[in-house]
Amino acid sequence: MSTHQVMLMCVLAVVAGVAGLVVADRLRFPSIVFLLVFGAGLGPDGAGLIRPEALGRGLEILVKIAVAIILFEGALTLRARDVAEVFAGVRRLVTYGLGVTWAGATLAAWGIAGLPGHLAVLFGALVTVTGPTVIRPLLERVHVKRTVATVLNSEGVIIDPIGVFVAVLVLELILGFGMTWRETMGGYFGRLGIGALLGAAGGFSLPWVLRARWLVAEHLQNLAGLAGVLGIFAAAERVYPESGLAAVVAAGLAAPRRIMPQEHRFRLFKEELTLLFISVLFILLAANVRLAAIFEEGWRGLGVVGILMLVVRPLCVFLSIDRNTMPFRDRLFIATVAPRGVVAASAASLFALILEEKGWEGARRVEALVFLTIAVTVVVQGVLAWPVAWALGVLSEVDRRVLVVGANMLGRAVAAVYHAAGRSVVVTDTNPIHCEAARGAGLPTACGNIFERAHQERIGMDEAGTVIAVTQNPEVNVLIAQHAREDYRIPYVYVALDRFDKGARREHVERIGGHLAFGRPLALAPWLERLRSEEAVLVARETPPKDTLPQSVREYAGNEDIVPLLVRHGDRVQVCEDGTHWGPGDRVLFLTRRGTAVDTPSRPSPGGGAAAESSSSSAAPTAPPVPGPPAGPLGGLL
């Protein structure tokens, strides 16, 4: 191919890769499936527009650099305290578990697919890896318990370089480089050890270099960080060939998060690069695979993948993680999740190319089996992950952290309901008096500036699934929402606006992907003053089975004296917004002026709490509700 054709092919690979990501995001389906389909469709067996062999050794270079960045980004997302909590299980998964997977996959490939022994051993080594490129997207769609997610993420990041080293070891033995077994094992541990040492040193030093403003300007920090990662990779490769992957993983794990400038922005930059590299790599690698070779494996190939999923993976997990480390249901879910990703695909393609150049027959069968394993595990486990997690009770909707920014009476009331529902809640404010009041109500509280990195670390902002901004400054609330959405990609962000403030509007909230809390702008300061003076109260109401009265936030839009705040559907608590509805059995928390009836009667909360709970009759309230909000009674009502 001419230089011009190669350039067009590379551009097409980028366009097709990004298109695959967009389609997958719209359909909420694993992107790898579309990338494999697009790559195969554009490759020699399809339209013939992408021919990766035209890149020559450039494909190998691209693969190595891309995988290095992908693994560093994956390691950077791991939190030391979370990994420490499940370290014993992860350590056994990437040692004993790797051995079990290697042996089981080798036997399946040899006994079912009929691969020659040496190629079966190579296939077994290649499918020991899972990887963050497939695990993390799955866990972003299926929110499981933090410990379960940490085990899967940690295994995926750490096992990738180890599995690749095992595969390199097997390849060297197959090609017979004149090395003894002892020399080969020395090479394995040399790559792992030297890579880890150099990577840890480089990863620990990198944030200090980036912090030096006299050296690296703020707008160049992301690029300088990327250059630093590639420098660590290249240095390790220079000292000991093939040790670069271990180096970048160690660098990501060793980098001190607290001193890394704009760490969340750096991580997001790496995530975007990772997505680009993954999409382009899969397009090129899928185009490089001959579809006929995959179809030739037929039922034998599917049988191998079935054994990997139904026998080898459960055996690996249950032999590696005992019941004292994790509950049975958690281990069972982990046993059902082990999709293979870009690292397995990259190594399989490169090894097949090397073996083919050396004249080894059957090399393309190994590649075909690996890609069949990738396609089946990604599709099947991607589709079944949520139903399996739901059936096993390992979904973490109740475990994901709720951050309430603003410890005023309204913020404390909202936080109390979530806290009583079993959610992990943190209240934060800059006002020490408000913070002390929140602590006195039994709410986990941190006093500090939400925009400071150290405070974000302290409150665990990167673990949050919901942010509710209810400070008295609407413009600050919008900035908080923007920060949560753009820098942390928190899915549920609710913003309280003031109807007297013209600087922050509903469209500003919607533009950043947030939600207007309580369905309308409020007169925040007057409502808080009414709560303090007991002119306003919080009323909790349970919807009767045959309630014909208002059933949505919109039906209260014209009533300035009643504001629906929260709805509890069973175990789920939701901040009211414009389209919120409730039905029979749901419980609703209202903010009302004292003496205003809330369409069903209320009685004082037990122990004189902050809210009144409704009965099922339709008379006026039998007693005035009591202002609050102490956390206990209010939380108990909802």
Q: Is residue 227 part of a domain?
A: no
Q: CA 170, 173, 179: angle at the middle one, nearest 5?
A: 135
Q: Which residue has the higher pLDDT, 603 or 560?
A: 560
- Are 358 and 455 in a shared domain? no
pLDDT value at 110 more than 90: yes
Rounded Cα gap, residues 548 and 596, in angstroms: 19
Q: Is residue 209 part of a domain?
A: no
The average pLDDT across 411-416 equals 92
Q: Is residue 203 part of a domain?
A: no
Rounded Cα gap, residues 116 and 369, in angstroms: 13
pLDDT value at 530 more than 80: yes
Q: Is 219 helix (H, G, I), strand (E, B) or coil?
A: helix
- Are 574 and 597 in a shared domain? yes
- Pick from 497, 480, 492: which is nearest to 575 by CA? 492
Q: Is 398 helix (H, G, I), strand (E, B) or coil?
A: coil
Q: CA 544, 492, 413: angle at the middle one, nearest 5?
A: 55
Average pLDDT, the chain: 83
216 to 132, 209, 224, 268: CA distances (angstroms)? 30, 8, 7, 19
Of 397-411, 412-426, 489-503, 547-561, which has the strongest mean pLDDT? 412-426
- Are 412 and 498 in a shared domain? yes
Token readout for 336 is: 């059902």
- pTM for this one? 0.72
**DSSP code of residue 112:** T
- Given CA atoms 278, 284, 289, 291 in this order, what sign does their dihedral have? positive
Q: Which residue has the higher pLDDT, 441 or 256?
A: 441
- Are 513 and 479 in a shared domain? yes
Q: Is residue 210 part of a domain?
A: no
Last residue of a domain, one of 344, 371, 390: 390
- pLDDT value for 603: 37
Last residue of a domain, one of 366, 390, 414: 390
pLDDT value at 26 more than 80: yes
Report whether 583 contacts 620 (CB < 8 A). no
Q: Is residue 146 part of a domain?
A: yes
Rounded Cα gap, residues 387 and 204, in angstroms: 41
Other CB atoms within 10 Å distance of the CB of residue 483: 20
- Are 455 and 310 in a shared domain? no
Half-sphere exposure of 376 (CA within 13 A, CB side): 21
Q: How confident is the model at residue 632 (pLDDT cuts 50, 70, 90)?
A: very low
Tell me the per-residue pLDDT of 305-346, one tens digit each, with 9 for 90 and over: 999 999 999 999 999 998 888 899 999 999 999 998 888 888
C-alpha Rg value of the chain to the nearest Å: 28
Q: How confident is the model at residue 257 (pLDDT cuts 50, 70, 90)?
A: low
In the chain, the percentage of residues whose pLDDT exceeds 70 is 88
- Are 533 and 564 in a shared domain? yes
> CATH number, domain at 571?
3.40.50.720
- Are 432 and 350 in a shared domain? no
Q: How confident is the model at residue 438 (pLDDT cuts 50, 70, 90)?
A: very high
Tell me the per-residue pLDDT of 135-179, one tens digit each, with 9 for 90 and over: 888 887 888 887 898 899 889 888 888 888 888 888 888 877 556
Tell me the per-residue pLDDT of 445-469, one tens digit each, with 9 for 90 and over: 999 999 887 888 788 887 788 999 9
Rounded Cα gap, residues 331 and 418, in angstroms: 28
- Pick from 164, 154, 150: which is nearest to 195 by CA? 164
Q: Can you spell out the DSSP letters for 307-346?
A: HIIIIIHHHHHHHHS-TTTS-HHHHHHHHT-----HHHHH
Token readout for 245 is: 């992957």
- pLDDT value for 398: 47
Q: How confident is the model at residue 623 (pLDDT cuts 50, 70, 90)?
A: very low
Of 357-366, 428-437, 576-585, which has the strongest mean pLDDT? 428-437
Tell me the per-residue pLDDT of 579-620, one tens digit each, with 9 for 90 and over: 888 888 788 888 888 877 666 433 333 333 334 333 333 333
- Pick from 417, 443, 415: which is nearest to 633 by CA? 417
Q: Is residue 192 part of a domain?
A: no
The average pLDDT across 28-52 equals 87
Last residue of a domain, one of 332, 362, 390: 390
Q: How confident is the model at residue 48 (pLDDT cuts 50, 70, 90)?
A: confident
- pLDDT value for 399: 52
> CATH number, domain at 303?
1.20.1530.20
Structural domain boundaries, residue 530: 401-637
Token readout for 383 is: 């589709």
- Are 438 and 304 in a shared domain? no
Question: Which residue, chain included where needed, has tokens 């899972």?
Answer: 130
- Are 297 and 322 in a shared domain? yes
Q: Is residue 281 part of a domain?
A: yes
- Are 459 and 551 in a shared domain? yes
Q: How confident is the model at residue 261 (pLDDT cuts 50, 70, 90)?
A: low
- pLDDT value for 467: 95
Q: CA 110, 134, 174: angle at the middle one, nearest 5?
A: 30
- Pick from 553, 53, 18: which is nearest to 289 by CA? 53
Q: CA 490, 389, 425: angle at the middle one, nearest 5?
A: 40
Rounded Cα gap, residues 194 and 158, in angstroms: 15
Report whether 418 contacts 464 (CB < 8 A). no
Q: Is residue 77 part of a domain?
A: no
Number of domains observed in the structure of the chain: 2
- Are 286 and 353 in a shared domain? yes
The average pLDDT across 220-226 equals 87
- Which residues have a Cβ under 8 Å from the Cβ of 453 and sit 6 or more positions away? 258, 262, 263, 264
- Are 280 and 375 in a shared domain? yes
Report whether 401 contacts 424 (CB < 8 A). yes
